[in-house]
Structure 1
Amino acid sequence: MRIAAAEGGVELGLIENDPRTRVLEDGRSLLELNPLGTVSVLLLESGVVIRETVAALLWVQDHATAPVRREPGSAAYYRQLQWLCFLSTELHTKLFRVVFYPEATDAVKDNFRALTPARLELIEAALGTQAYLVDDAWSVADAYLTWILTLLGRAEVSIESSPALSEYQRRALQRPAVQRLLADDDRRIAARG
């Protein structure tokens, strides 16, 4: 969500969360905002809480000032929604468990590694004919995919055999907003020790 917001010119305040304890840096429990404690949470100034990554990404895209928007009702909007749902259900949910849940068994990790190449082949096929997931222009779906790709290495999944996906990741990691966020993440992680 942070990559999408940065690319779209949407300012978000970040509240750190300890994934082990689910305690926010302001002392509240993440479970107060999200009873499941497992997905992105967007707390609007109005007090409205938006849960689920896809919903939060669509909120960001609807409030973007930069050209990441896909007009609701357009074919591009629904292709973007299709990619967001695919990334959420087929990669993010499973990847999150493998990378962030210490209780993930070797069998769970092996299953993820076995199933992931087929999912990546679908993305590889799309990126083999266009530069980005939707209409050859950066979208919030691309921001989501970029975040997922940064985590795949931690799950010991390589994309080296996918030339279009590898090139896509190379280009995505060169985007100034992505570079700033990854550098910021590195600083925050180093500060935690």
Structure 2
Amino acid sequence: MKLYYSPGACSLAPHIVAKEAGIALDLEKVDLAAHKLTDGTDYYDVNPRGYVPAIRVKADEPVLTEANVLVQFLADQKPEAGLMPKAGTPERYRAQQWLAFVATELHKNFSWLWYKDTPAETKTAVKDKLNKRFAELDAHLKSNDFILGKTFSAADAYAFTIINWVNFLGMNLKSFPNLQAFMDRVAARPKVQEALKAEGLIAA
């Protein structure tokens, strides 16, 4: 399988899940500004939306996209890794609920902050909303090591990836100590470290 990624983008989430599950991925770096691959070919030919992540499972099939879907897809390739609860169980739907929360309440809102032409008042409103969601997570993580409880899951990989963007967008987690502790806990995981090093986000 091939993962199309950009360092530190939301594609880091499936990259982390693959590392944690022991799934080998071929990495294909995408220049998101130019929408080009390293060989100069047009990334729009791979994914017409121009976004990462995308996973090519088979050469003759369309790529799979959307970070919250890809982390589940990869987790399901190695169910013994315990990164997603069994399909059809209440626990699975709870995990999917959290993945949807990250996708819609965090990821989508953060996206506005990356655009240079987003009005200042919009950015302020978005940051206020994100801080409210951080407060919700902070309260949840007061009694939980990870989003689903005591065990690391695909939901943590996705949340960690997106929340880490505070470091690039003039935000911080100083008011949310439990959430900061969660971020530190995830960052310290050996497989997460491997993914970060592979993307050049920390020194190898």
With normalisation by structure 2, the TM-score equals 0.83
CA distance in 2, matches of 1:107, 1:38: 26
Q: CA deviation at 1:74?
A: 1.2
SS at match of 2:51: coil
Q: CA deviation at 1:109?
A: 2.7
Q: Which residue of 2 aligns with 1:78?
A: 93
Q: CA deviation at 1:187?
A: 6.4
CA distance in 1, matches of 2:84, 2:201: 30
CA distance in 2, matches of 1:24, 1:143: 25
Unmatched segments (≥5 aa) in structure 2? 1-13
Q: Which residue of 2 aligns with 1:98?
A: 113
Q: CA deviation at 1:129?
A: 1.7
1:67 and 2:82 aligned: yes
Change (3 A) 1:95 1:168: same
* Coordinate RMSD, CA, aligned: 2.0
Q: Following superposition of structure 1 onto structure 2, how do residues 1-193 of structure 1 map, counting pairs within 5 Å?
A: 1-46=14-59, 47-64=61-78, 65-99=80-114, 101-186=115-200
Tell me which protein shows more helix as a share of its residues: 1
Task: Letter of the 1:9 partner, please give it.
Answer: G
How far does the alpha carbon of each residue in 1:10-29 deviate from its partner, in whole angstroms, 9 at most, with x for none?
Answer: 22211111111111123332
Tell me if structure 1 keeps the 8 A contact 2:106–2:163. no
Q: CA deviation at 1:39?
A: 4.2
Give the fraction of aligned pairs with identical amino acids, expressed as a percent. Answer: 27
Q: CA deviation at 1:137?
A: 0.8
Change (3 A) 1:44 1:26: farther
Unmatched segments (≥5 aa) in structure 1? none
Task: Letter of the 2:180 partner, please give it.
Answer: S
CA distance in 1, matches of 2:49, 2:99: 20
SS at match of 1:186: coil
Which one is further off, 103-112 or 117-126?
103-112
SS at match of 2:200: helix
Q: After the TM superposition, which parts of structure 1 deviate over 4 Å for at least 4 consecutive aligned residues?
A: none
With normalisation by structure 1, the TM-score equals 0.88
How far does the alpha carbon of each residue in 1:79-129 deviate from its partner, in whole angstroms, 9 at most, with x for none?
Answer: 110111110111112223423x34444334323212111111221122112
SS at match of 1:16: strand
CA distance in 1, matches of 2:149, 2:90: 10
CA distance in 1, matches of 2:127, 2:119: 13
